[in-house]
Homo-oligomer: A and B are copies of this chain.
Amino acid sequence: MKLLVINPNISGDVTRLIESEARRSIRPGTELTMATAPFGVAYIETRAEAQIGGYAAMQVAAEHYAEHDAVVVAAFGDPGLAALREILPIPVVGMTESALVSACQRGNRFSVIAISQRIQAWYRETIAAYGFSERLASIRALDEPLAHIGRVQEDQGQRLIALAERAVQDDGADVLILAGAPLAGLARSVAARLPVPALDGVTCALRQAQAMVDLGASAPTAGSFAPPPEKPCQGLPEALARLVGRRTAEPVSTVG
């Protein structure tokens, strides 16, 4: 099985962190292709940045998905996830969604531990859009500026653990989600110190990606995830245009 893992941000450091944890989360015989967004921001905290990252993920996926069995969107918040599901004929998973469905299978309510105050609104809206708000015990977040996005765990490890403990004690979390690609691997390293199951978004995403490929369900030809109707397009990278635009060479007559 071959998986395409897309970091929708421009941070090579974070891509390496994702790759390191992803390689621990695959079975023998699963291969990974790592890709980093060619444009965008260093890490996504806002709806605006997610809008950019989602489009970047679409471009990367369109160009590279061929010969892969599934795609992993490797940023918590899942930028572009629904869009990719529509245009690609293979399963697509996201870190948030994978972590949520895993958490639901290990307990009832979960808390999300996040790397910045600002990121909380976007996370909350993502979780709400998936319909999991009722099970969200809390989001708890670091409240200091991040000196270096690739070293959050080293710099803030103790504070992250303290937030996790409060989520269990005060908020009633049955499960913890240590959220965001920059925290990849933290759950594994601190699991023994936490009183409830602690989940890592990257690990969950890779495990769910493999499970989705294993399921072997076919791609839809009807419903709202069938390929978008063909129509005129312009200015899109060629690989993407093949997936969302008119697949013929007809001139775009409706553009004035």
- Bound: A19/B198 CA distance, A: 32
Given A85-B107, A207-B215, A212-B105, residue A52 in contact with residue B58 (CB < 8 A): yes
Per-residue CB proximity of A34-60 to B under 8 Å, as 1/0?
A: 000011111101111111101100100
Is the Cβ of A174 less than 8 Å from the Cβ of B225?
yes
User: A56: shortest Cβ distance to chain B, in Å?
Assistant: 8
Q: How many copies does the complex hold?
A: 6
Q: Is A162 an interface residue (CB 8 A)?
A: no
Given A150-B254, A234-B40, residue A204 in contact with residue B197 (CB < 8 A): no
Q: Is A25 an interface residue (CB 8 A)?
A: yes
Chain A interfacial residues counted at CB < 8 A:
116
Is the Cβ of A233 less than 8 Å from the Cβ of B10?
yes
For residue A41, which residues in chain B have a CB less than 8 angstroms away from its CB?
231-233, 244-245
For residue A12, which residues in chain B have a CB less than 8 angstroms away from its CB?
254-256
Q: Is A157 an interface residue (CB 8 A)?
A: no
Is the Cβ of A106 less than 8 Å from the Cβ of B228?
no
Is the Cβ of B10 less than 8 Å from the Cβ of A252?
yes
Per-residue CB proximity of A241-256 to B under 8 Å, as 1/0?
A: 0011100000011111
Between A and B, 22 residue pairs with Cβ closer than 8 Å are A13-B256, A27-B27, A39-B236, A42-B232, A42-B252, A42-B255, A45-B228, A45-B231, A46-B229, A46-B244, A47-B83, A47-B86, A48-B87, A106-B212, A106-B225, A108-B121, A108-B125, A120-B172, A121-B172, A173-B223, A196-B225, A199-B217
Q: A118-B229, A120-B172, A148-B253 are in contact. List 18 more A-B contacts (CB 8 A).
A: A11-B254, A38-B235, A40-B233, A41-B232, A45-B229, A48-B83, A51-B54, A52-B55, A52-B244, A54-B55, A107-B224, A108-B121, A121-B172, A121-B174, A129-B129, A131-B132, A192-B218, A195-B220
